[in-house]
Amino acid sequence: MKITFIVPAIGKKPGKKYIGTWKMEPLTIAMLKALTPPDVETELFDDRIELINYETSTDLVCITVETYTAKRSYKIAQKFRERGIPVVMGGYHVTLCPEEAAEHCDSVMIGNAETVWKTMLEDFGRGKIKPVYQGNTAEYDIQPDKSIFTGKKYLPVSLVETGRGCIHSCDFCSICRFYESHYHARSHELIIDDLKRSKHDIAFLVDDNLVADHNNAIRLFEEITPLKKKWAGQGTLSMARNEKLLKAMKKSGCEVILIGFESLNPENLRQMNKSFNLAMGERDELVKRVHDAGLGIYATFVFGYDNDDERTVEEALEFAKKHKFYTAAFNHLLPFPNTPLYKRLREDNRLIYDKWWLADGYNYGELAFNPKKISAEKLSKLCRDARKEFSSARTVMSRGFASLGRTSPLLWGLFWAMNLRLGEEVDQKMNVPIGENLDELPK
């Protein structure tokens, strides 16, 4: 038996290379490779960095689908199915929209694959593959097999999973919908072994809220410390209240932590069901505690809630510049399917596209709904302008010198490379066509 794994691209402008910072290792594929028996031949086509060979000799195609890549995934699947090759689809989007995905493949995998992958392969081997496989969302006690990445040119950062899910219920988030607001910590033994296997000196700890359980996180950081790795991850500003946690993070090698501020407006935070941000005290003091601990902050903001206008975007930009964040993202709100946000906007008749991820003419960087206090086009431009300003040479220089006082000298080069690349990519990312057929375009 031979399985062909495919990672679809979001889209690409004609004649342009794919966005550099979007070329991370597809960790999901490495997990599936590890679950696959050794006597099964495997291959990987990553649509982001290479052409897909639609004439490859294979028995089964497996496509991992995100909402941004759904349209492209369905087009890829169609080409293989026209040859009579069955297609299995899984991923967050398939779990959120299983009926939609089922129209474009032979079998859908809902939830995590670890508990059902082997069963699916056995069924396929008998010629009796089922249309639906329901996986458990919590079990993932295996190590990824990254040998399938051999020869692929990804960013020089190792992805190491530490947990899945999140305890919060933000109304825009598809992750909390997928895991029903539960957090599932991974075994420390597996994490440490995974880090030891990593071929890069820098790791990104894949976890939507690495500090969801402070005690678990501290124990993990204490175990990571002897490895002398440098790493980044995702957390929440609430961690700044725990001095022991911050010290353990820094000592273990943490250089940058991504924090979702989302909004500085209290009413917006309440609307997005992130009012726990309001209970954390004064933001400036908490940010100072994180910086004083020697940790850089990758700050993220999202705009499009009912109290957003031109001023709220400007305030977020000024807040980010004042604190000289390591880097920052100024994003417009995106209604992911089957989230409370999506349902509310549809009920209010504010969606520009009912299914933006499948709509002809929808491009990356555009809003898929009408905000209340500002036009969709204006908000898209404001987000773009905030990114450009924060990535300007003057601002990067100011933030760079502040970063030098917090991060390891080994990471100084990374700061300049990362921020200069993000600045270059601001306009590259605007109006990327979602799901367009890219097969003949140069990579």
Comparing C-alpha atoms, which of 151, 153, 147, 150 is closest to residue 18? 153
How many other C-beta atoms lie within 10 A of the C-beta of residue 281? 12
Identify the band that residue 238 occupies on the pLDDT scale cut at 50, 70 and 90: confident
| Pairwise CA distance, residues 259 & 237, whole Å | 6
- Phi, psi dihedral angles at 122 (to 5 degrees): -65, -40
Position 442 scores a pLDDT of: 39
Instruction: Supply angle C-alpha 313, 204, 30, rounded to 5.
Output: 120
Structure tokens at 158: 């190792």
Identify the band that residue 423 occupies on the pLDDT scale cut at 50, 70 and 90: confident
CATH class of 2-134: alpha beta
**Count of residues in the chain:** 443
Q: What is the dihedral of CA 215, 220, 226, 228, to 10 degrees?
A: -110
Identify the band that residue 441 occupies on the pLDDT scale cut at 50, 70 and 90: very low
Position 137 scores a pLDDT of: 64
Instruction: Name the fold adopted by 156-407.
Output: TIM Barrel (3.20.20)
Residue 201 reports pLDDT greater than 70: yes
Position 168 scores a pLDDT of: 66
Structure tokens at 374: 């500002």
Whether the model pTM is above 0.85: yes
| Pairwise CA distance, residues 177 & 208, whole Å | 13
Instruction: Supply angle C-alpha 14, 15, 21, rounded to 5.
Output: 90
Residue 28 reports pLDDT greater than 80: yes
List the domain boundaries for the chain. Answer: 2-134, 156-407
| Pairwise CA distance, residues 443 & 436, whole Å | 14
pLDDT tens-digit series, residues 353-385: 989 999 998 999 999 999 999 999 999 999 999
Comparing C-alpha atoms, which of 273, 277, 278, 275 is closest to residue 341? 273
| Pairwise CA distance, residues 289 & 410, whole Å | 23
- Average model confidence (pLDDT) across the chain: 89
Higher pLDDT, 220 or 403: 220
| Pairwise CA distance, residues 151 & 146, whole Å | 11
| Pairwise CA distance, residues 196 & 190, whole Å | 10
Q: Please say whether the beta carbons of 69 and 10 come within 8 A.
A: yes
3-state secondary structure of 237: helix
Amino acid at 306: D
Q: Please say whether the beta carbons of 235 and 257 come within 8 A.
A: yes
Give mean pLDDT, residues 229-243.
92
Structure tokens at 45: 């086509």
Position 167 scores a pLDDT of: 67
Higher pLDDT, 171 or 105: 105
User: Cα–chain-centroid distance for residue 124?
Assistant: 31
Residue 130 reports pLDDT greater than 90: yes
Position 276 scores a pLDDT of: 58
Instruction: Supply angle C-alpha 49, 327, 397, rounded to 5.
Output: 110
